Amino acid sequence: MNTYSIIIPHKNGLPLLYRCLESIPKRDDTEVIVVDDNSDITPSEWNQFRQDFPHVHLVLTSEGKGAGYARNVGMTKATGKWLIFSDADDYFYPNALDVIDKKTKEADYDIIYFNCDYRDGETGEPLTGRIDTIIEGIKNRDYDLLRYKSFVPWGKVIKHHLVKQHNILFDEIEVNNDIMFSALVGYNSDTIGIIDDCLYCYTYNKGSVINGMTEQKMKTVIKTRAIVNAFLHEHGIRGYENELTWCIRYFAYKPVQLIWAVWHGRYKGDIWRYSKEIGPVLIRVYMGAIKHKVKRLVAFMRLGD
């Protein structure tokens, strides 16, 4: 058995995939599994890829079911004691596996969370947001924050046996395929380790799935977050629910869609709490829209003077 299985879903981004793979050291105890999600890439390009990365286990799928499906396929191929997930447009920092080696030998952990940073994929400039939960959870040793709100698949090392034992899979949907997977992994982990070192870089790229948000994708986000919140409520875990207010903001100018979002995104059996959460956000959104229209009206009137 290998020590690590690094699973990377890929879709139409070979240059960034190359960068990701080049950041992973070649080790006899580490297998790298790339699962391609029906990319528009020619056979000759894949042949070149195999020559450049002969140690990588490349799996070509034709279903086009998204990253969740690709990750599930990757897990069926994995033989490592530990699972590590990466997005194809991200990369690891030097000595990441060496640091993880030391932590895995400390205790019999079920999951180990490690620090990440967030950068522009083209310029490399540091960015804020997206990984605040990971940073806060590690800094404050807030294990439940990491368990239930660090819902990205990367930034953690997961015991393979844990996933198999509880039959935990990714949802095979377009977005948010990882949120329930991460919550279930966190919930079923008895022993948790934390690495303060920054081992992984999450990058912002304009063409990524999350940045091409559509109404249908936003509906999926709301539904999946509500499902996780219902799971947390069912198990008596309060205070770590996934906020839905930024989703609601998307529907603020579409009354019919807003009603849909409020209905489908509510907390299970907790309408009042949900209303209190979204109310102030909607007020701010609508007040901002009114101020903007007033400014435009004043500017128009001045032009007529």
pTM for the whole thing? 0.87
Count CB atoms within 10 A of the CB of residue 37: 22
Distance CA 186, CA 135 (A): 17
Contact 204, 210 (CB under 8 A): no
What lies within 8 Å, CB to CB, of 233 at 6+ separation is 241, 267, 268, 269, 270
Instruction: Give the total residue count for the chain.
Output: 305
The phi, psi pair for 192, rounded to 5°, reads -125, 135
User: What are the extents of the domains in the chain?
Assistant: 4-204, 215-304
The amino acid at residue 69 is Y
Distance of CA 164 to the CA centre of its chain: 21
- DSSP state, residue 126: B
Predicted local confidence at residue 35, as pLDDT: 98
Beta bridge partners of 126: 119
Could you tell me if 78 and 87 are in contact, meaning their C-beta atoms sit under 8 angstroms apart? no
Q: What is the pLDDT of residue 208?
A: 61
Which residue's structure tokens are 């447009």? Answer: 89
pLDDT (0 to 100) of residue 53: 97
Q: Per-residue pLDDT tens for 161-214?
A: 999 999 999 999 988 999 999 999 999 999 999 999 999 999 998 766 555 668
Which amino acid does the sequence have at 112?
Answer: I
pLDDT digits (tens, 9 = 90+) for 85-133: 999 999 999 999 999 999 999 999 999 999 999 999 889 999 988 899 9
pLDDT tens digits for range 52-78: 999 999 999 998 899 999 999 999 999
Does domain 4-204 fall under CATH 3.90.550.10? My reply is: yes
